Chain A
């Protein structure tokens, strides 16, 4: 990694740490400080007893000064001592259990949507204005317009429940049965990807069209490069830069909780579904933990995306230095 790049990465990592700190303070404020009322009561859940409330107050230090409360909260969240008073389960445990499922869903969907979107976007761009392009445009709009939970429910009902081709929801551990693991994820992957495919293929299409008009593409042709090389190494390489950064951000968001609806519809018992359930119960400790987890993931992915952008586009690396 060149000196420029190293400096860039270090700078980004340091600012990421700062942002993570700020996020943690914000989460703390949102849950414990800002709302009116007694935080212990809120924490206790729907049917609190007096002793419970008192115990919570003690444990979380609500009588202590604010910064001690903050420290306590951070300690509990990060060392796995958070308990849901409603379900009596350890929150961190639950998150840990749900993480691989959310991961499987998110990673699979992300790969699918990216691969399909790039293929469709490129195809549309090369056939811009023609019928195939317009047709794909309509498809993309439909994809963007379909709500994920509606599509998911539809697929689950017709292809899962009625036709029996796919399983009727649920998740199978990979190490138990890889084939079934895969089979159970096909519909969820599809449901989650459709929206993104629609959006990304359109964005890539317009990026490619713009890039094809650039002078350096003309130069590449003038050099006598094969059309395939011109397309892949020059047009696509440059058009992908904005797409990759968008992808990183969206992936972070999906991982951080954006797949809530899909997980719930298909009953995958991932982190998203855990969050949905907890919200329904107004069970504060899990909500806090998932929020924190989600926010952290998004911040980390933002940083990864920044670094990826600099790796892809050398012009970004020179910050604050004059050219030459």
Chain B
């Protein structure tokens, strides 16, 4: 992991050379902990290996789409399928899980200790480039109003960002992640979510994932039902097993066809999984089911399984 730097033998202390060497070294050492996050629809963004057991942090807006196929590309060339565990639109944060246990994670810094004027570095995939580094300073720490009415102290810097940087890290001079790059104001002011906010969000997440615990398969809907639905669709999700669901919950039965969940039509497993990923344990979800030929409006609760499953 260590690398010696080359000093010029001619000057006594060539500060610009040392600065450049230090920054090159910082980049080299953190690069394995920064990933590219790809979905089928969007251009893609950046992700941060937050824990070496495969938990990856990115922005909600990088993975928010009805298509669940998310992939993570590592700097060593490996491509891994990623599951969106939790996604929060107000904070614009999402946590993913990839099947790997030996990843390099970034060290997390203290965003509250940042001072105006200190160097910060952004790494991501802007402008069609991969693993690009931009440098700037903390411009200010300022209060930003979140979607849910709460406020947070966000980091504003002049390190250049472009859309592909979303979800990537803002690093301090020690190479620790102090922010998640999220927005650009006015074309030239970069805004990052403080790492302290990320840490509290993660700490507050249920330890496992919220799941339904049912086995499903797509099924063609009877013509009589199709016409009743807005928008018209021909496919629903038939529940073929409920063995993973607690027997005490009698709200979902084998033979039920799920038509809609939380107001959103579902005709594929991916869409259902996306909605479920945004729920908390104990949440009750409204649903439209087809049971015994009758369309019912009902609700059911989420249960928790460990992330490892």
The yes or no verdict on A and B being binding partners is no
Interface residues of B (CB under 8 A from A): none
Interface residues of A (CB under 8 A from B): none
